[in-house]
Amino acid sequence: MFRTICLAAALLFSLPNPEALAVEIKDPENTLVIELQSGEVVIQMLPDVAPKHVERIKQLTREGEYDSVAFHRVIDGFMAQTGDVEFADTTDNFQPGRAGTGGSKYPDIASEFSSLPFDRGVAGMARSQDPNSANSQFFIMFEEGHFLNNQYTVWGRVISGMEHVDNIKRGAQGSGAVTDPDHMIRVRVAADQ
């Protein structure tokens, strides 16, 4: 009995503290932190892969444009889409009929396709049929979606908090439209903390 108690105590004291489990941010200028209702999601941005897209994400983040923006299209087993700062910009101004059709006040960005695959946790830029129509909207993959490879721009990957992405409220079967969506509470570049 004494041996069991000692073993249990040794295991308890050998576990790392919660702070030690936090992700190490190596490049704060290219790290995005998204606060969701259930916790923080940390995305490593990839400026070497998609410099124009990363610059746009940082620009809109620093202007506060992503704060309170809805996840307007969420498809179980696929992805969660957000970033429509024009028509889904706040909890008070969410427009379900138009959400997903807007962008920002800035011009669209030319595609920056790469060989990086759309795996679980990858952040990609949403666009219309025109490959050069990305603007402000982006999505995070729940599962791999390699049919998107070389068709959409990869700009980042989740390095911490994927369990919070998994908790985002799903939309209607098929379209993924969400009528009472979850929101990004606050979005920031880690260097600006």
Which SS3 state, helix, strand or coil, does residue 191 take?
helix
* pLDDT of res. 103: 80
Residue range 22-35, pLDDT digits in tens: 678 899 999 999 99
pLDDT at residue 180, as a whole number: 86
Which residue type occupies 47?
P
Q: Is the pLDDT of residue 171 over 70?
A: yes
| Helix/strand/coil for 132 | coil
- Name the residue ranges covered by the structural domains of the chain: 23-192
Amino acid, single-letter form, for residue 42: V
Q: Which residues on neighbouring strands pair with residue 109, listed in sequence order? A: 134
For the record, the structure tokens of 58 come out as: 């940082």
189 confidence band (pLDDT: 50, 70, 90): very high
Share the mean pLDDT of the chain: 85
> Does residue 183 have a pLDDT over 90?
yes
Determine what percent of the chain is predicted with pLDDT higher than 90: 70
Question: In angstroms, how far apart are the furthest CA atoms of the chain?
Answer: 70
Range of weakest confidence among 36-40, 111-115, 176-180: 176-180
User: Candidates 2.40.100.10, 3.90.226.10, 2.40.50.140, 3.30.70.520; correct CATH number of 23-192?
Assistant: 2.40.100.10
- What confidence score (pLDDT) does residue 24 get? 83
Q: What mean pLDDT comes out for the span 63-88?
A: 91
